[in-house]
Amino acid sequence: MVGMYNGVKVLDVHGHVSSPEATSNYLMLMMAANTAFPSPIATGGVLATGGRTSPGLSPDDFKRASQRHVDYMNERNIDVQIIGPRPFRVMGFMEEHLTPAWARFVNDCIHMQCQDFPDRFAGACQLPQLSNAPDTRHVLGELERCVKDLGFIATYASPDPGGRRTTPGMHEEYWHPLYEKCQEWSIPIIVHGTNALDRRYRVVPHNYQLGFYTEQYLATQFLGHGDAFQRFPELRVIVCHCGGGLDRFHKTDPHLPQKDLSKNLFFDTCAYDSIFLEAAIRQRGVDRIVFGTEAPGSGRHVIPETGLSGDNLVPVIDAFSFLSDADKIAIFNGNPKKVIPAMAKWEARQAVTA
């Protein structure tokens, strides 16, 4: 493999699909026409009934986008990455009859990238979530397609896809159909905020980041205090960006959930300030931390002190003196395989074919 860390592969649980720019045309046309058009991507060389080919969406176009992503990973010592939707493009506020077609299209794009480089990528699906649905039963058909037909090994879920804070909290019964199916299929849920339409946010550039932070923090609190893991004891959830905000209370304070969440609730390392990341690892505990970078994504800025991009996290974690070598190997390799069982099988399969 390309990277490796002390003899093990670096497994990144937090990546997003890199597709040709022309994929935006499908989204814009759908929303402008308010019509769920058939996918313009040929599957097996055949377009869906009524579909039209679009410039810039050939297999070669997809392969070039995938190659750029792989090159970016190589520069950051990442061997394998789980890729899902790009959260700010989930567009959960679109008209609800468009949502299934958009989710299916994005998942087909993810699948194409995984096929382009099957030794580097594994898929996590975009769910066609509707905030105002009675529960999450409506997403299960696409989840099943992604898992059983496309071979995806995880799923993304937005705590508030509509972006208006009207979605039931992640501790509520609304989520139970999804939790039940993910437990049954041993599919972990990657919790990531998506679009945020709070009017107060408009003054902040790229204000969806505020939605990521707040919704991920709220999800951490709701899941910790609620009974979801008592009802679904084998369910595993990864909350991105270290779980949003950190706790300001000591772990023994009753403001925090006084229960064992070590087998169910996990957090990735996708924080680009080393002080914040160190605090998150210390507070959450090494056993609950999985490596994640979102590379390429919002961490392309250069850190002046190192000259490296913010999402070049292997050397950052490697430099943490409070972590032992065993801790670092757990974060880079052991914990991702523990939380996402299919990743261990997938890694072993790739080792045989390498």
Task: Tell me what pLDDT residue 2 has.
Answer: 63
pLDDT, tens digit, 9 for 90 and up, residues 229-281: 999 999 999 999 999 999 999 999 999 999 999 999 999 999 999 999 999 99
Burial class (CB in 10 A: 0-12, 13-18, 19+), 341: middle
The Cα 304–Cα 64 span in angstroms is 31
Q: Which DSSP state fits 256?
A: S
The Cα 109–Cα 226 span in angstroms is 35
Q: Would you state the structure tokens that stand for residue 271, as one six-digit string?
A: 């924080």
Helices of type H across 76-147: 99-116, 140-144
313 belongs to a structural domain? yes
Q: Domain span at residue 328?
A: 11-19+63-353
The SS3 call for residue 82 is strand
Q: Is the pTM of this model over 0.75?
A: yes
The Cα angle at residue 61 between residues 14 and 53, in degrees rounded to 5: 115
Number of domains present in the structure of the chain: 1
Q: Of how many residues is the chain composed?
A: 354
pLDDT, tens digit, 9 for 90 and up, residues 274-317: 999 999 999 999 999 999 999 999 999 999 999 999 999 999 99
CB atoms within 10 A of CB 205: 6
52 belongs to a structural domain? no
47 belongs to a structural domain? no
297 belongs to a structural domain? yes
Answer for the pair 178, 140: CB distance below 8 angstroms, yes or no.
Answer: yes
- The dihedrals phi and psi of 46, each to the nearest 5 degrees, come to -125, 130
The Cα 83–Cα 251 span in angstroms is 33
305 belongs to a structural domain? yes
40 belongs to a structural domain? no
Task: Tell me what pLDDT residue 56 has.
Answer: 87
105 belongs to a structural domain? yes
Low-confidence ranges of the chain (pLDDT < 50): 1, 44-49
AA identity, residue 214: T
272 belongs to a structural domain? yes
Task: Tell me what pLDDT residue 43 has.
Answer: 57
AA identity, residue 293: T
Task: Tell me what pLDDT residue 44 has.
Answer: 47
What is the edge-to-edge ordering of all strands in the sheet holding 121-125?
11-16, 80-84, 121-125, 154-157, 189-191, 237-239, 265-268, 289-290
The Cα 131–Cα 235 span in angstroms is 22
* 209: nearest Cα among 299, 84, 296, 312: 299
